Amino acid sequence: MATTVAEFLDLEGIDVDFARDGVQAWELSQQNQYQVVILDINLPRLDGFSVCQRIRASGDDTPIIMLTAKDRLQDKLQGFEAGADDYLVKPFALDELVARIKALSGRLSRQVRKLTVADLEFNLDENRVSRQGRSLSLPPVSLKLLEVLMRASPKAVAKQQLIESVWGDEVEGSNLKVHIHKLRKVVDSQGLPPLIHTAKALGYVIRESNADSN
């Protein structure tokens, strides 16, 4: 089945790396950058759930599609809990798989639970932020701003997008500049190289100073 899927995707103009077991799948995910990862739950050596969990634990936000012959609700829930973005039950139409790949391609998974930019880390499960291993104390608004910026990094986020992500339609969004200033005071303190930058005529970006923001 894996060979058939790989050959069909190739015909659709989608480049594919094929792993014969879960260990190889995990290694490939660490060695390369993909737009989408497709995992069968019943992989030898390391099952799909475990591979998915490892990918998410590493901070990788590549979208993941889980494939399985199981259609029980509990299996689907376990897949999503492991960090999957989509779930396809075998047998399935190859055209449907292609459609789901295209829908997820180019997106960042919302399932990743650890964000990293340079020496800055944000553990979303624990709401814990650290830089160079030192814990940073941030209020809820700053944490939300930081999450949006880190998920988009190294791309800039427009001011309006930041406001809508944090405050929705509430008036408090007009104080964005003040909140960014407070966030900078904590993240870029003690003489550390600045990570939060103003993107002229757009908004803000979090990245290393020498990184390409485009």
| Phi and psi based region of residue 118 (left: phi greater than 0; alpha: psi -120 to 50; beta: remaining) | left
Cα-flanking dihedrals φ and ψ of residue 29, to 5°? -65, -30
Q: pLDDT tens digits, residue range 131-165?
A: 999 999 999 999 999 998 998 888 899 998 888 88
Statement: residue 214 has pLDDT above 50: no
Domain segments of the chain as ranges: 2-104, 114-206
- Render pLDDT for 99-132 as a digit per residue (tens, 0 to 9): 999 888 866 666 667 888 999 999 887 889 999 9
Q: At what angle do helices 176-187 and 159-167 cross, to 10 degrees?
A: 90
Q: What CATH number should be reported for the domain whose range is 2-104? A: 3.40.50.2300
Is pLDDT of 213 > 50?
Answer: no
Partnered with residue 67 across adjacent β-strands are: 40, 88
Contact (Cβ atoms closer than 8 angstroms) between residue 79 and residue 41: yes
Residue 201: pLDDT band with limits 50, 70, 90: confident
The pair of three-digit structure tokens given for residue 154, joined into one six-digit string: 């190294």
**Residues 14-64: tens digit of each pLDDT:** 899 999 999 999 999 989 888 899 999 889 999 999 999 999 888 788 899
Global confidence as pTM: 0.56
Instruction: Please check whether the domain covering 114-206 is classified as CATH 1.10.10.10.
Output: yes
Q: Is the pLDDT of residue 195 over 90?
A: yes
Whether the CB-CB separation of 153 and 199 falls below 8 Å is answered with: no
In the structure, what pLDDT confidence band is assigned to residue 172 with cuts at 50, 70 and 90? low
Cα distance between residue 185 and residue 187, in whole Å: 6
